[in-house]
A and B are shown apart, each in its own frame.
Chain A
Amino acid sequence: MIEISNLSKRYGNFDALKDINLTISKGTVFGFVGPNGAGKSTTMSILATLVLPSSGTARVGGYEVTEYPKEVRKKIGYMPDFFGVYDQLKTIEYLHFYGASYNIPRSEREKLIPQLLDLVNLSDKSDSYVDSLSRGMKQRLCLARCLVHDPEVLILDEPASGLDPRARIEMREILKELKLMGKTIIISSHILPELAEMVDEIGVIEHGVMVAQGKVSDIQNRLRVKKILHIRTMERQEELTAFLRDEAFVSGVLSDNTGVHVHFSGGEEEQASLLQQMISLGYPVLSFNEAQTNLEDVFLEITKGGLGQ
């Protein structure tokens, strides 16, 4: 659905994007991760036909964004990181305006807009002026606006920024529904744990360079992000701690009254082998489990700041 090839964007002497390559298949929810100024918004703006790339190509639904911008605009729903609203319009008029701007006939809009308002939980605000809505409501209204022409791709730049925890949860629930509807979604966020629940793939970008891309679990494995193994034994905990300290792929061991915590950099095979050894040596293992690493750990591991220096 989205293909980006050797995409670069230069502002004067500053490289905002350097040879980005990215492929996102239909129905995928893609999380775009990176620190501020890394190039997420620039990439999204290029996909939204708002910024011209310096070199490279970007295709949405098979259409190159600089050659067929009108066709691309039909396929995308774009929500910028910062946006304003027309304060003097009512919520329903706001959606009618954008619906009409996408050439949707009024008869269709009459049926569609109540459904959209229902989806974003704003049905009771249809006759309210947009300026009277809270930030969270405006954010949801903007999401409804993105959906007014039923686009195949949603480009959401920091859709949860500035929202309180409740509003963030509401936004997340709506995005989950959109995922179920089969939309291809590119979403950037600095609230990584919230993304982790719903993204299929992530792309990590730093200083305009795509550092890693793929499934979260694949990236974790590929990067050998240190796992923390939590082991509980019925007895001989001190002895087990000493044994683990000498094992390969173990960078640290901590023993406390909850069990033994092992910093482990091996893969799944090494992890299974370690457990096998412990059992063969007769340690009475009660539990052996991996503390889950989240997207934030991945992000921090990848973007150590070494790039671009």
Chain B
Amino acid sequence: MNWSRKWINPVLDKEFRLRMRTPRAMLSVMLYILALGFIAMGFIYMTMYLNNNNGGTQQFNSGMSQMMFYVLSFSQLLMIAFMAPALTAGVISSEREKQTLSMLLTTQQSSMTIILSKLLSSLSFMALIVIATLPVYSIVFLYGGISPRQIISLFLFYLFIMLLLGSLGVMFSTIFKRTIISIIVTYSVGIFIFLITGLLYLFLSSMWQQIYSGAITPPSFSWVGFILGLNPAGAMLSLFEPEISKSVFHMNGSSMNTDAPIQLWVEFALVYTVVIIGSLWISIRSIRPVRRRKKHKIMSQEKIMEPSDNIIN
């Protein structure tokens, strides 16, 4: 038995085939790399030619390379935020719309296998696209300023974001019958995570600073920092600049010698791991209306089911 037969279950195998057989897959990869490539080239052009007051060209140094890395990273984060819901928010509802779900549910594949395989196949495709952008990042390496460790941690962070948005997409796809509704809800939650948390942080931190700007002894700790820990951009920034975490928890320059209670990216990972697990649990519970009863219930077999027993484990 070769490894693929052992590790790739039928649902995953089918998903891989279906996804990669359409020209859309290759087109998506190509357009994605092109978009990121244009951003990189655009940044280089702007820093070398447009930002030069002397009229000539400016040398592209390691500092600029680091700045380009940040620009690419945030651009990619935004692109993942757009791509992940589109790839995952229809995985179950589209099967329902195409009328293939009922047949899949009468096979021996467990609910967990179906949900995780669907998610994994979407994640694999997203990972393929993101890894395909590595050559664009190689421009950064040419000029230095970024370590391979930072690149690896960035890509792991991307994987986590994909997992988060993917799990939410799969959950809404399982709950809602129509793909369009599932996509809208997933994007709405995505906007909340990416935008609302950031805006909330900015609003509350400015309020905090206003309140304590004239104080002789400003408080040594600000809980507002926890809100930025829920924002992917904030968490990503703390990966590159760990000092950020310290500054968001200790505003007005107070107690800057004290460590942050938690790194923003750690808070982000902890909170959203719970969200991921919860989303997958709900998806697995919701996909099949009829599930095996718990052991103690099987003992009393002849019991007539009540409508409240709607989901049986």
Q: A residues bordering B, Cβ < 8 Å?
A: 6, 10, 45, 48-57, 64-70, 73-74, 76, 78, 80, 82-86, 88-89, 93, 97-98, 100-103, 106, 142, 145, 149
Contacts and interface: CB of A to CB of B under 8 A. Distances in A.
B107 A101 contact: yes
Contacts of B290: 49-52, 65-66, 69
B5 A66 contact: no
A74 B21 CA distance: 31
Contact of B107 (A53, A64, A102): A102
Interface string B25-55: 0000000000000000000000000000000
Nearest to A80: B102
Contacts of B307: 10, 54-55
Interface string B279-290: 000000000111
B210 interface: no
Contacts of B104: 101
Interface in B279-313: 288-293, 297-298, 301-302, 304-307, 309-312
Nearest to B297: A67
Contacts of B243: none
A308 to B, nearest CB: 21
Interface residues on B, range: 35 or more
20 contacts: A48-B106, A49-B105, A49-B106, A54-B305, A55-B307, A56-B304, A57-B302, A67-B298, A67-B301, A67-B312, A69-B292, A73-B108, A78-B103, A80-B99, A80-B102, A80-B103, A83-B103, A88-B21, A97-B14, A145-B103
B114 to A, nearest CB: 9
A70 B292 contact: yes
Contacts of A103: 108
Interface of B: 5, 9-11, 13-14, 17-18, 21-22, 98-100, 102-109, 288-293, 297-298, 301-302, 304-307, 309-312
Contact of A89 (B18, B106, B306): B18
B102 A78 contact: yes
B51 to A, nearest CB: 49
Given A54-B305, A86-B14, A149-B108, 15 more contacts: A10-B307, A45-B102, A52-B305, A52-B311, A67-B312, A73-B106, A76-B106, A78-B102, A78-B103, A80-B99, A83-B103, A84-B100, A97-B14, A100-B13, A102-B108
A84 B99 contact: yes
B297 to A, nearest CB: 8
A101 B304 contact: no
A93 B10 CA distance: 11
A51 B103 CA distance: 13
Contacts, number: 107
A64 B301 contact: yes
A101 B102 contact: no
Contacts of B14: 86, 89, 97
B290 to A, nearest CB: 5
Contact of B293 (A53, A66, A97): A66
Given A52-B312, A102-B107, A145-B103, A93 B17 contact: yes
Nearest to B291: A69
Contact of B312 (A66, A73, A78): A66
B105 A50 contact: yes
Given A56-B304, A86-B18, A100-B13, A50 B289 contact: yes
B18 A88 contact: yes
Contacts of A145: 103
B94 to A, nearest CB: 10
A67 B99 contact: no
Contacts of A100: 9-10, 13
Given A83-B100, A84-B99, A51 B289 contact: yes
Contacts of A73: 106-108
A245 B45 CA distance: 105
A6 B302 CA distance: 12
B298 A89 contact: no
A78 B105 CA distance: 10
A57 B298 CA distance: 13
Given A55-B307, A89-B14, A101-B108, A67 B102 contact: no
A97 B12 CA distance: 10
Contacts of A86: 14, 18, 100
A175 B301 CA distance: 35
A52 B14 CA distance: 28
A80 B99 CA distance: 9
Contacts of A54: 305, 307
A70 B22 contact: no
B103 A88 contact: no
Contact of A84 (B5, B18, B98): B98
A101 B10 contact: yes
A76 B108 CA distance: 11
Contact of B108 (A10, A48, A74, A83): A74
Contacts of B98: 84
Most buried by B among A74, A103, A142: A103
Most buried by B among A51, A52, A93: A52
A76 B298 CA distance: 21
